[in-house]
Structure 1
């Protein structure tokens, strides 16, 4: 039987032509800005979904791997939030600044720098772990899983770069976690950069493919816990992991490596409903909690701990710098993510605040004419006999996170003294930037602390002091790291590099959101201008070899993924409307990946 094709009707042809003309003359509206209400953004995206990414399943399904040391059952689930809500964190800001405001102009400048550097990565190192900004080539630092792409997903989304975000998601959906360019996988870096990046981008965009990849990676990371004690290894032997053979935890690791896995694995359990990830990291948290008051400085943990001996107590060197920093950072953040549901995080946070305030913080001696009320965090060494801790007034860029940590913890625990000390610490790191001719803080330096007061009052536990040239000369002569041209008030510059680090702007961002004080935004702008000028190659941004030099700064062929994931993101957020990644709606991991809080507070 044949059907005769009907002739096209003139009315239908006219209607089609009219619709085509409307489409051409009135294109679909642009997406709402990231700071728009979530309901508005989700509604727009549901009606403008991009093509579904091509998901590529990894060649090894680590979920099917039979562990040699299976965890006891049933697995511990993330606890529900406590009945009474946690205190509000963010300052009660007025309405968002109008277009054309100073904050908006500053935000555009940050976005433009990101766009330039992202174009360099796409042109010269697409899908590589990182860009070499001087030689303009790729480098693989973290197993060849496109670290910069994954680490930058949420930044692309927040900056409204939707086409670039969709392109990155398409490539990330094809990462093969069953193959690695390196023989070993670092548990810490893989957790904070890769797993954190996938979870955050999923929380912001709702793309299912990102959660599928996060689950694949979470199952790989569970291999790190396949040890007799169920405590993690610092490095996963990839061949043993694939073959199903168990691993042995190391006898000496930095405390941050073991203590900075909780936020990401907990969020993965919250999103998937699978308790295995939270169950794995909860053992570490309870180990640290049990030993917190048994160390040489109760409330703090030594920089080095032993997973093989389940020992987080033995050790005499204490710091908030590299190797320990994010262990402390995650204490109030876990308290926030769980809505106060597990009391150990509140207890550990209070212990950390008290011990740090008593032993690590100091007020530096400043030159005449400088009257900043600032604090610096140093290091402490305890001798073998357990005598009184001795302060070493050395600080580093990594330590600058602590201002934000103090302010966040202070708000959560209703502790205004902690918030004020957080502000003084954040101002301290801002001072360390502007004290150099380049306007950039070096990686590591030392200062001369003010002598302790005979009887400090409760409101002046860190008393100020006048400049003492004799004391300064004695300190600088005692340090072999001192070099000609070191500016006042620094007694030595132990490492003059700037590695594009984010910790100082991170604390300024948190303090601005907590206090609403515009001075912190102004400090951030001054810092951004110095960093942009001092690191620019004309094509991208590069680390600096020596920030103490005057004039053009010598660059290094180095630009890690955290430049996009953290540094530029924090610069962008501090000049954005406070509704964008509100600290009452999100908690940011140590790589600045925002996780949505599961409970409304």
Structure 2
């Protein structure tokens, strides 16, 4: 039984619903679970009147259902976000919900439909069948890979390749596999460097690649070249071509060869020399998902990739020794490191680490498991504290001059619908079943509805410390790929995309485990 079906059954029992709903759509009698998608779409302004053994839907509120079924609430939010994207921006990369038009941007090298591809697996998991078919049709008919423009290797990989791979594994539909493989081929020229460390930007038409203009001394970024491993192993598995796996295994060789200051991995590495360019270490932006992919590579390998596990264990030990600190108020956080000098701040992006550490703790050995679970819980609690004012958190928060988990700079107060905090809530719930994580997730759901929902979608806000925020007019594709998916899964049963069977890429796209050496054979798994 799916999350939707299980939750529906529980909702019926919890509010004592018997019989059926009288649908005003054609006056036909339908089981509640079959019309729930429509019901929720109307529930923001709907009320139920009790008839003999039946319910009638009329405009007003539906607080009982929503308060007892948070997974339905997150599903309704997904439908609202998708419907408005489809109405005003289908084929563009993202929706501008205030001006009701689309946004293309310059991250994807001429590729379109980032929200479509990012949303595919979420729509499928939530059983929004009509919406999923709309997205699938766009991929089949309109998703053009013959483009010419500057693309982020990292973003194209995690959003497009990851989204297509995940949807293929969930559905078995060949169109997603073929598009993923074709796009993967277009990324390979980025690895044509003296070290094999890929550059961050690639022209998908010409194959030319270069480093970001802002990257120090033409360097490549740890979180970018270190966040390819999961997807590229699956590309080799599905294509039978070992080149994808060879490219990412070579990255490992370079990283194992270069000396790590204090055992830490700086964020900038030269693709020419293979040496660090500057000693800035962050578990947030520029570094974050590199560490995530180490432990997840081990898990995805059916726990056979011992090299990844050792790299993760050693990195976490160095992070805990040099970067993990406790504030005067008792909050545990992970500072940044700049050439030996600590910067006592955490970015919102670093809040994924609570979930990552908990995931790794399950396999740390009995003597270390509880220690790492405690550390994961403390970091997740700190990130929850950063959400204290409006139940949404800033882009970065600090621990200095008496400040505790707050943004002290105007430029850090914004929230762009990021997922990292609810990501950790989901992992912590699945691994501990402490009800506070669901309570915290429900706080976020209500805050998103209150502060980010606008007439035509969801928008980021410019200041999380005001109850009347201004909006940034952007519904990010990762809001549909990650934030809403993690919230939905937080309230699902554990066997819905079980952590025993699936590994989420850094864009929350689920990939199945591999068995054998370097993924000789896909483990037989089906979506539950």
TM-score by length of 1: 0.71
Partner of 1:514: 431
The equivalent residue for 2:92 is 128
* Counterpart contact for 1:227–1:248, Cα < 8 Å: no
More deviation, 356-365/325-334: 356-365
| Greater length-normalized contact order (CA 8 Å, ≥ 6 residues apart) | 1
The answer to whether the 8 A contact 1:231-1:249 is kept is: no
Does residue 82 of structure 2 align to residue 118 of structure 1?
Answer: yes
**CA distance 1:218–1:104, shift in 2 (3 Å):** farther
Q: 2:491 is matched with which residue?
A: 575
User: Partners in 2 of 1:443 and 1:348 — Cα distance?
Assistant: 28
Contact map agreement 2:386 2:397 (CA 8 A) in 1: no
Distance 2:318 2:352 in 1: 17
Find 1:153's aligned residue among 91, 103, 120: 120
Deviations 1:443-466, CA, capped at 9 Å, x for gaps: 112113xxxxxxxxxxxxxxxxxx
Tell me which of 194, 200, 225 is aligned to 1:234: 200
User: Is 1:162 aligned to residue 113 of structure 2?
Assistant: no
Change (3 A) 1:362 1:554: same
Q: Does 1:439 align with 2:377?
A: no
What's the counterpart of residue 352 of structure 1?
A: 315
Answer yes or no: is 1:391 the counterpart of 2:352: no
Q: CA deviation at 1:238?
A: 3.7
Q: CA deviation at 1:102?
A: 8.8
**1:223 to partner: Cα distance:** 2.3
Q: CA deviation at 1:341?
A: 2.4
| Alpha-carbon separation, structure 1, partners of 2:441 and 2:407 | 26
- Asked whether the equivalents of residues 154 and 593 of structure 1 are also in contact (C-alpha less than 8 Å), the reply is yes
Distance of 1:122 and 1:207 partners within structure 2:
22
CA distance in 1, matches of 2:310, 2:84: 46
- 1:455-506 deviation digits (Å, cap 9, x = unpaired): xxxxxxxxxxxxxxxx63xxx7xxxxxxxxxxx6647235110010000000
Query: Displacement of 1:175 after TM fit?
Result: 4.5
1:498 equivalent in structure 2: 415
From 521, 543, 547, the equivalent of 2:460 is: 543
For 1:451-530, list aligned pairs within 5 A.
472=402, 490=406, 492-493=408-409, 494-530=411-447
Residue by residue over 1:371-414, the C-alpha shift from the partner in whole angstroms, topping out at 9 and shown as x without a partner, is xx6421111122xxxxxx33211111011011011111111333
Work out which of the residue numbers 265, 278, 303 in structure 1 matches 2:267. Answer: 303
Contact 2:89 2:101 in 1 (8 A): yes
1:426 to 364, 377, 380: 380
The alpha carbon displacement at 1:248 in A equals 6.1
Cα shift at 1:249: 6.4
Distance 2:5 2:448 in 1: 30
Q: Offset at 1:104?
A: 6.2
- 1:237 Cα deviation from its structure 2 partner: 2.6
Moved over 6 A (4+): 100-104
Indicate conservation of the 8 Å contact 1:130/1:560, yes or no.
yes
Tell which structure's C-alpha radius of gyration is larger. 1
Structure 1 vs Structure 2 CA RMSD: 2.3
1:535: Cα distance to partner?
Answer: 0.7
Structure 2 residues without counterparts, runs of 5 or longer: 7-63, 213-217, 516-522
- Does the CA-based 8 Å contact 2:394-2:406 persist in structure 1? no
| Secondary structure of residue in 2 paired with 1:517 | coil
Query: What corresponds to 1:272 in structure 2?
Result: 239
* Structure with the higher fraction of residues in strand conformation: 2
Q: CA deviation at 1:282?
A: 1.0
* 1:362 aligned counterpart, secondary structure: strand
Distance across 2 between alignment mates of 1:528 and 1:374: 24
Report SS of the residue matched to 2:102: strand
Alignment partners' CA distance in 2, 1:491 and 1:440:
12
Q: How many residue pairs were aligned?
A: 448
| Correspondence 1:406 to 2:357 | yes
Structure 2: how far apart are the matches of 1:319 and 1:350?
17
User: Structure 1: which 5+ runs fail to align?
Assistant: 1-31, 38-99, 367-372, 383-388, 449-470, 477-487
Pairing of 1:321-336 with structure 2 (within 5 A): 321-336=284-299
Of residues 325, 331, 340 in structure 2, which corresponds to 1:362?
Answer: 325
Task: Normalising by structure 2, report the TM-score.
Answer: 0.80
